[in-house]
Amino acid sequence: MVQRRYPASQTQSRVFGESILESLRTVVFGSLPKAELDLMLFRAFIAAGILEVNLPVFEIARRLEITPARVRSLLYRYRLETQDGDAATLDEITAALTRTRFELSADRVVFGMEDPYLRDSLAALLKSEGVFADTSFNPETVSLSLGAFVDFADRRLSDDDRRRILAALQHDTHIELNRFKRVLKSTLSQLGKRFVGAAAEDAAAGLIDAAWDFTTGLIRGDADRVTEASRRLG
C-alpha cells in the first residue's frame, strides 16, 4: 500500500495550491533555485495548516522526510521572511517559553528552545541588556542566571505572561522537590514576588509545600495526604 504523505482536507489542498501559485507569479517559469523552491513549498505547507511552524523540529523532519538540520534552515528562513516585527517576535518567544520545560537550581534557570530564529532573537534581546545566554552545552538549550531571567520577564513581558511562565516553572520543578525543597521554595517565592507582585510569594511557597506533601504522600502510600495535597495543587 502506498503511503499517503501530507494528508490534507479539500480546503487545505486549495490553500496549498493557491500559495504556490501566488509565489510562482513573482518569478519567470523554471528560474526558481532549488533552495527557493523548498522554501516556497514549506511556506505553502504552513499557510495551508498541513504543517505547523511550532511543531517540534524532529516531527517536521519526520513528516517531510528530511534531516532536522534542513528543517532548522527552513524555519530560520521562513521566520526571517514572515516575522512582522519586534513585538510579534517577542510574542512568539513568550509562547515558546510557556511551552518549554524548565530546570531550576539555586542560581540558574535552564530551558529548551528549538526554533533557531526565536532562540537567536531571545539572545539578541538579552545582549541588548548586557546579558549573554549560555548555549555551550547544547545549542537548543538556554541557560541564564535567575536574576537575568527575571529581569527579562519584568521588563519585556506582560503580567499575564509572567504568571503563565511562573506556573510553568512551578509545574516543571515539582519533581525536584525531594532534592532541594528549601532552595526551590525560596527561589520560586522570590520569582513569584518579582514576577507578579508580593501576593504571589505566599502562593508560590504554598504550592511548593503542597507538591512536597503530594510527593511524600505517594511514596508513603498515605492516601489522605495525597488527596489533601491534590486539592491544594488544583
Place 145 in a pLDDT band, splitting at 50, 70 and 90. Answer: confident
Same domain, 63 and 176: no
Same domain, 164 and 227: yes
Run of H or E including 77? helix 68-82
Where is average pLDDT lowest: 67-71, 126-130, 155-159?
155-159
**Of 38-42, 131-135, 144-148, 153-157, which one has max mean pLDDT?**
38-42
Q: Half-sphere exposure (CA, 13 Å, Cβ side) for 58? A: 1
pTM metric for this prediction? 0.65
- In whole angstroms, give the CA distance from residue 159 to residue 153: 9
**146 in a domain, yes or no?**
yes
Q: 122-131: per-residue pLDDT in tens?
A: 888 888 888 8
DSSP structural state of residue 137: S
Q: Is the pLDDT of residue 50 over 90?
A: yes
Q: 1-39: per-residue pLDDT in tens?
A: 445 788 889 999 999 999 999 988 888 887 888 999 999
Task: Give CA 198 to chain center in angstroms.
Answer: 27
C-alpha cell at 182: 528549601
Same domain, 220 and 124: yes
- In whole angstroms, give the CA distance from residue 133 to residue 110: 10
**5 in a domain, yes or no?**
no
Q: Based on the number of CB atoms within 10 Å of its own CB, is 7 exposed (0-12), middle (13-18) or buried (19 or more)?
A: exposed
Same domain, 67 and 159: no
**Which residue type occupies 219?**
I
**117 in a domain, yes or no?**
yes
**Of 56-65, 84-93, 210-219, which one has max mean pLDDT?**
56-65
Q: Is the pLDDT of residue 147 over 70?
A: yes
Q: Which residue has the cell 526551590?
A: 184
Domain boundary, last residue among 33, 52, 82: 82
Range of the domain at 168: 88-233
Same domain, 182 and 113: yes
Per the model's pLDDT, the better-predicted residue between 118 and 146 turns out to be 118
Mean of the per-residue pLDDT values of the chain = 78
